[in-house]
Structure formats: C-alpha cells, structure tokens
Amino acid sequence: MTIKGQTILRFSGLLLFAAAVHAQGVFGSIDFFGYKRIDLQPVKAAVPVHAGDPFRKSEREAVRTRIKAAIRMLNSGTWSDRNKSAALLEVLSKSRQPELMAKLRADALDSLIEMAKWNNPGHAYFSRAILGRIAGIEEVRLKTILDGDWSQILKLL
C-alpha cells in the first residue's frame, strides 16, 4: 500500500471514530476536515459497526485505542496527519475529560507546542485551543486569548 493510501485509511478511521464518539457534533463540524459536500449516509451507516468493535473489551476501550491512534498521528512527521488529528482532538478536547487532558499532556505536549507556533494561525488554531484546555483555561477566556496573544497559554502550562 502506498503512503498516500495509508494516510487516507488512517484519516478515514479517524473520521469514523469521530462520528462514533460525537456523532452529531462531528457531522456538523465536517468542514474541519475540508469536506463540504461529503455524503454522510455511508459514514453514519458505518458508525455502529465501527463503535462496536467485537475485538475490544468494551466500547470505552475502543475509544481509548482510537484516541491513542489520533495522538500518534499528532506526533507524526507528516503535516496532514498532524493537522487532521489536531482538528479531531480539538473537537474531543471540548469535553475536557480529565483522562483525555492527561493523555494529551503526557503524550503530545511537545508536538502541540510546536504546532501552536506555526505561522499560519488557521493551522495553529487547533493545537492552541487544545493547549488552552490542557492549561485549564475556561472556554470564554480561551476564545479571547485565541483571538489575541495566544502565547499567554504557554505561560500557564
């Protein structure tokens, strides 16, 4: 399989994972992934199968496994892997689940900080928002910081 094919398969898996975890939220946020005219019926039809993987101990374990995969992609050397996984993790981090925040801090902090420093604010946004949530900044204040001097987030980590 080609590198491009592997990236497409990983991205497809992440999209299905996102659909399984945040069905309506991710479907409503499909623009993050650059697909404005995607037919969501096949994705929605696949969600129950993907979420109910019979080889996992539980649905919760399946979610943990897929989060680990998204974090591995965040630490990848490939820009598209990093950008797309940051978009997914930004959506998931809105829940501020302690287990997810701890995993992101432990396994992805260096990559998130590097990505937050990207010159293009649109590309850096996802990692900046995730870092703000890891730092414990409340959402209203985080939005204000993201619209201004985002480097304040680094001081709070």
Question: Would the pLDDT of 136 be above 50?
Answer: yes
Lowest mean pLDDT among 57-66, 103-112, 115-124: 57-66
**40 or 156, which is more confident?**
156
| pLDDT tens track for 17-55 | 555 554 444 444 444 444 444 454 554 444 444 444 444
Mean of per-residue pLDDT scores for the chain: 76
**Mean pLDDT (whole number) for 75-100:** 90
- pLDDT band of 61, cuts 50, 70, 90: confident
DSSP result, the chain: --HHHHHHHHHHHHHHHHHHHSHHHHHHTGGGGT-SS---HHHHHHHHHHHT-TTSS-HHHHHHHHHHHHHHHHTSS-HHHHHHHHHHHHHHHTT--HHHHHHHHHHHHHHHHHHHT-S-HHHHHHHHHHHHHHTT--HHHHHHHHHS-TTHHHHH-
**Which pLDDT score, from 0 to 100, does residue 90 have?**
93
- pLDDT band of 68, cuts 50, 70, 90: confident
User: Domain range holding 82?
Assistant: 3-156
- pLDDT band of 103, cuts 50, 70, 90: very high
**Which pLDDT score, from 0 to 100, does residue 29 have?**
44
**Mean pLDDT (whole number) for 88-113:** 94
Give the total number of structural domains in the chain.
1
